[in-house]
Structure formats: C-alpha cells, structure tokens
Amino acid sequence: MKKERSLASRLMQYGALALIVHLASGCSDQAPPPPPPTNAAISAEGAAPATPAADRKLVVAFGDSLYAGYNLDQGQGLAPVLEATLATRGVKAQVVNAGVSGDTTAAGRARLAFTLDGLPRTPDLMLVGLGGNDMLRGLSPQDTRANLDAILAEAKARGIKVMLTGMLASPNMGADYAAAFNSIYPDLARQYDAALYPFMLDGVLGDRALLLPDGIHPNAQGVKRIAGRLAPMVAEALAP
C-alpha cells in the first residue's frame, strides 16, 4: 500500500509538472500534428540511417520526447544508450531513433508508414512509446487506443515484432480517465502478443537526480536507468 501511495504521489507530481511544461511550450489541443520527419530525423545520431551490418539486429524506437532525447546532448538519448547497453549484454543491434518530441498517438500514426519506409530494411523490433502527450492534453482514451491499435496493426501487417513502453495517467486526470487510459497498454500487448514495459518512467519519476530541471524528462543518468531496465526485455524480444 505504501508503495502504491508513493507511485500515486509521483504521478500526481508528474501530472502537475507536465501541465506546466505543456502550457509553457505553447502547445495546444488544436495544434496540428508535426509533419513527418525526414530520414535525418529518424536516425540514431541525426544522419540518414545507415544499413546495419548483416550480423546486427535493427530496432526502431518510435515514440515521443522520452525516446527523442529531449534536451540531451548527442549520444545521450534512448536509442544510442540502449544500443550501447545491449552491446554490453552481447546483443549486436542498431537502434534507430524515431522519436519526435510532442508527438501524440495521432501524430505518430500519421508518420508511421513514412518512418518505416525510410528505414534500410524491415526492422527486427519496433519499440512504441506514445500516449503521454495524449494524456497530458486530456485527449480521449478511446482515440488513443484506436491510434495505438492502428500502429500495432501496421507493424503486424509488415511482420515487425513490437514492444510497448506504457504510460500511466496522472491521478489528477480522474479515476474514470485513468481506468480507461491505463488499460490501453496491457490490453493491446495481449491482443498483439507484444512485450510490455508497463511504465516508461518507472524508477526515474520522482528521483530528481535522474531528471532534467523540468522534473519530467530523464537526464542522461535517467536514460541510462531506463535503458538498463529495457535492455533485458529487448534482448529477449530479439532472440531467435
């Protein structure tokens, strides 16, 4: 019970801080989704994605600012850090950064085909981390579910394995909203037989030493923490 209250407290803090950052950034529920990124924007280090070596797996990290390396130096975002972490486990993989800060599930859905078509080949695994901005904007959980469903359906149609990194609704969104939102990720993971990391910020949210000054996004050490937790699941998903 104490652990549950602690998580709820951190989520409440997350919701309040996220709202502040959201408003300060000038985002609007009415703002159109960003245009699809160019190939340069979907690579791990900002250059056009290179063809991975024959003995390396290809992983695409498709998400929002938590994937994109928001306010971090080159090489400190999730994609390069996860790639390095996998290497320490003996897993040879190229992890391509397809994260776009501010993306909603609708924006991700709109750019998915463009992103996948821009890769050198069909990826062995796609990490999907979207939905946090939907929650932040108070968008309909039904729409969030439909958009994520469409993203996973497209991946399945292309023969791409998927791993979901979930998000939880802040308690200040209300119990009904949280119930509808929080069930999206486990439901879709079961439906598509996808691996699920239930909460992207688990072990990071609430620890100021692992967060940027905004109190929401992970700093370089926070990204290392996340990558360390994701790596075993990614390695398992990539196993023959």
Domains of the chain: 2-238 (3.40.50.1110)
Catalytic residues: 65, 214, 217
- The pLDDT assigned to 160 comes to 98
- Extract the tokens encoding 59: 């992983």
Tokens 């990194």: give the residue: 165
- Collapsing DSSP states into helix, strand and coil, what is residue 177? helix
Name residue 216's amino acid: I
- The pLDDT assigned to 240 comes to 84
- The pLDDT assigned to 12 comes to 54
What pTM does this model have? 0.83
Q: CA-based Rg of the chain, rounded to a whole angstrom?
A: 17
- The pLDDT assigned to 9 comes to 52
- The pLDDT assigned to 11 comes to 56
Where the chain has pLDDT below 50, the residues are 2-5, 8, 16-17, 19-41, 43-48
Which residues face 195 on adjacent strands? 163
DSSP secondary structure code for residue 41 in this structure: G
- The pLDDT assigned to 20 comes to 36
For residues 127 and 227, what is the distance between their CA atoms, to the nearest angstrom?
Answer: 12
